Structure 1
Amino acid sequence: MWPFSSSVPFKPATGIPSLAGKVILVTGGNNGIGKETVLQLARHNPQKIFLAARNESKAKAAIASIKSQISEDVDVEHLPVDLTSLPSIKNAADRVISRSNRLDILVLNAGIMAVPPDKTAAGQEIQMGTNHVGHFLLTKLLLPTLQHTAKEYNPDVRVVSVSSEAWNMAPSLDTILSTDKLTARGPWTRYGASKAANIMFAAELARRYPTLTSVSLHPGIIKTDLYLPSIGVNPIVKYGSMVVGPLLFQNIETGAFNQLWAAAGARKEELTNGGYYTPVGKLRKNKWVTDTDAGTKLWQWTEKELKQAGY
C-alpha cells in the first residue's frame, strides 16, 4: 500500500526528454514543488516557462534561483496571478495569450490547505475557490491556445491537476457543490472537497476535450509551507508530523517527481486520460474519476458560479 509500494522508476534528469520548442505554465511556481517543477523542466530546454505566482518579489527570487541552477538561457517569466481573484486570472490568461500562440504543458499546482473559514471575492468557499474554481477559469480561458497547440504544433498537450489523497476526506457531492454547507464544515473536510474537485475536473476535462491529455495526481506527503497553518493550530498535526514525519514526508525534490513524470516524463501512451496517479506513476481507481454524473454536475456548478461573477 502507498507510500511503501513500488512505483515507476523515474529521475527528472534522465526521465524527461528534450522540451525544445515547448511552452509551459506552472501555477504556484515560486516555492515548494511548484518551484522544483519549474527548475527540472527548465533543465530540458523548453522555449518558455510561465511561472505563475501572486507575490512578485518571491516570484523574481525564485526565477533568479532557478536560472542560477541551469546552464541554458531558458525564458522563465513571472505570470502574476491571484487564484482567489477572477479578474487577476483573466489578466493572467490574456497575458499568456498575448505572449505565446502555443501552450504545451499546464501544471495546476498552486493551492492552499486547511486554512480558516473564508470566501473568495466571487463568493466561493476559499479552498474550493482557490484550488478548483480559480484553476478551472484559468484552464477555460487557455483552452483555445491548448487546442490550437494540439492541432498545429504538438499532439501531446497536457493538463496536470495536482490533487491529494485528502480527497478521501471530502464530503458528499451535495455538500461540495453548496458553498453554505461546505463553509460550515471543518478545514480538512473543505480541503478534501477541493481536492476531490481537482480529480473530477481532470476527468471531466478529458471527457470533454479528448485531444488534450488531462490527469490528476497526489504528489506525496511533502514537508512544505502548505502545512504551516495546520501545524500551528492543530496539535495532532503538529506532534503527529514530529513522530511520523521522518517516515512519511518526502523532500521537495522527490515530492515533485509525480507531477514531473505526468507533465513530461511519461510517454503519452503511458497515461490514461482522466486518470488519477499516486507517486510515482501509479494509476489508481478513484470514485471521482469514474462518476461521470458528478463530473458533469461539478462542471455545470462551476460554470454557473463563473457566469454569476461575469465570467
Structure 2
Amino acid sequence: MGIFNRKHRSSSSSSSRSSDHRMSSLSGKVIMVTGGNSGLGKQSIMEFAKHEPAEIWLAARDLHRADQTVFELSRQFPTTEFNVLEMDLASLDSIRDAAETFLYSARRLDVLLLNARAGGSSSPPPSMTRDGYEGAFGVNHMGHALLTKLLMPVLLHTVRHNRNGGCVADVHVVVVSSVLMNHAPRRGIRFDKLKAPPPPNRYYFSGRRFAFRNYAQSKLANTLFARRLAREYPQLTVAAVHPGIVRTNIMGVIARHDVLAKLGRPISQACMASVQDGIQNQMWAATSQDIISGEYYSHVGVKGRMNKLARTIFWQRNYGNGLR
C-alpha cells in the first residue's frame, strides 16, 4: 500500500477549452479518481486541480507511473495536495486494503469518480481477475462497486458534515459507463458466464466477440449500479456518464495487439473526440447541482438516453415487471 504526497502553491495554468465556466470553487473538498495515470482520468484531475480542492487521490495499480503523474501535476497545481493510493481493481483484497488506507487517512470525500476501465470494443480477449471473474466485468463493475461500498461511511459522513455546517449536502459519485452498453447480451448480464475463461487464442474472431460482449455488459452494469446506488442512498448525487469515443492512449495499446485496429487507426482517430472534450460530461456530473440522481447522461447535461434493456432490467429488479 503506498501513499505519496506532493504539496506546493497555486498555479494559474488553464486550457483553451476547459470546464471552468461550469465549475464553482472546490475549496476544501476531497476528490478520488480511479485510473488517473493517463487519458480521461489524468485530464479530469487536471481540471479539478484548477479549482484548488484540498486533496485529490489518484487510485492506481502502477505506483511508479502514478507517482510520476502526481509529481508532474503538483508542479502545475501547487496548492492542491495529491495522494497516490495503490489499488488493483482486479483484486478484491487490494481494493479492501486501499479503502482501509483511505478511511484511515482522509476525513471526507466529496467526489468519487469511478473512471478506470478494462477492455474495450477492440481489445484482446479479456483476462480473469485474481478472484476468478471475467476481467472487464470484474474491474469495471465489481471492483468499483466494492470500492464504493467500502467508502460509503466517509461519503455519508461528508454529507452530514456539510449539513451540520449549513452547506449543501453535495457529495457526488460518478460512474463512467459507455454507450456500448447497448451491445450487451439481449437478456442482460450473463451472470452464469462471469467465471467463464476467454476462448482459446486460436479462435481470433470468437475472442473478439467475447471481449466486446463482456465489455458491453460491464458498462450496462455500471449504469444499473449508478441507478441502484441513487435509490439506496438519496443523500448522494449519483450519475452514470458516457464520455464519448475519445482518443486516449488505450488506442495505441489496442493497435499493438490487433491488426484490424492498427490498419483502421488513422481513420478512427480522426473521428474521435479529444481527451479534453471527452471529460466534459464527467466533470459536469461531478460538480453540477443540476444532476438528477441515478440518471445516465450521454452528453453534457443530456439525460433520458438510457437504453431500453437497462430500463427494463432496473424496473423489473426493483418494481416488478411494470416499466416507467
If the length of structure 1 is used for normalisation, what is the TM-score?
Answer: 0.84
Alignment of 1:1-311 (within 5 A): 11-70=18-77, 72-113=78-119, 114-153=123-162, 154-173=168-187, 175-178=189-192, 179-180=194-195, 183=198, 186-246=210-270, 248-264=271-287, 266=288, 268=289, 270-286=290-306, 287=308, 288-289=310-311, 291-293=313-315
Counterpart residue identity of residue 314, structure 2: T
Residue equivalent to 1:309: none
> How many residue pairs get matched?
283
In structure 2, the partner of 1:308 is none
Structure 2's unaligned 5+ residue stretches are 1-16, 163-167, 200-208, 320-324
| Alpha-carbon distance in structure 2 between the residues aligned to 1:293 and 1:177 | 18
Q: Structure 1 residues 12 and 210 mapped into 2: Cα distance closer, same or farther (>3 Å)?
A: same
Segment of structure 1 superposing worse, 40-49 or 235-244? 235-244
Counterparts of 2:140 and 2:301, CA distance in 1 = 22
- Given residue 177 of structure 1, which amino acid in structure 2 is its aligned partner? F
Cα distance change, pair 69–241 in 1 and its aligned pair in 2 (3 A): same
Q: What is the letter of the counterpart of residue 149 of structure 1?
A: T
Q: Please tell me the residue identity of whatever aligns with 1:159.
A: V
State the Cα deviation string for residues 10-66 of structure 1 (Å, max 9, x = none). 832222110011111000011111011111101111111111111111111111111
1:234 to partner: Cα distance? 3.8
RMSD: 2.1
Question: C-alpha separation between the residues in 1 aligned to 2:232 and 2:170?
Answer: 16
Q: Write the letter of the residue equivalent to 1:292.
A: F
More moved, 150-159 vs 225-234: 225-234
Which residue is 1:7 aligned to?
Answer: none
Closer/same/farther in 2, CA of residues 144 and 66 from structure 1, 3 Å limit: same
User: Per residue, is there more helix in 1 or in 2?
Assistant: 1
Q: Is the 8 A contact 2:133 2:196 kept in 1?
A: no
CA contact (8 A) 1:204 1:274 kept: yes
CA distance in 2 between counterparts of 1:211 and 1:290 reads 25
After TM superposition, give the deviation of residue 101 of structure 1 in Å: 1.9
Give the C-alpha shift of residue 122 in structure 1: 1.3
Q: Identity of paired residues, percent?
A: 37
* Structure 1 unaligned residues grouped into runs of 5+: 1-9, 298-311
Following superposition, the deviation at residue 151 of structure 1 comes to 1.7
1:187-245 Cα deviation digits (max 9, x unpaired): 11111011111101001101111111111111111111223443334444333332242
Q: 2:124, 2:257 within 8 Å by CA — same for their partners in 1?
A: no
- Whether contact under 8 Å (1:276, 1:283) holds in the other structure is yes
CA distance in 1, matches of 2:43, 2:258: 28
Q: Which residue of 2 aligns with 1:6?
A: none
Q: 1:121 to 1:64 in 2, by over 3 A?
A: same
- Of 280-289 and 178-187, deviating more is 178-187
TM-score if structure 2 supplies the norm length?
0.81
Q: Secondary structure at the match of 1:103?
A: coil
Q: What SS does structure 1 have at the residue aligned with 2:36?
A: coil
Q: Secondary structure at the match of 1:129?
A: helix
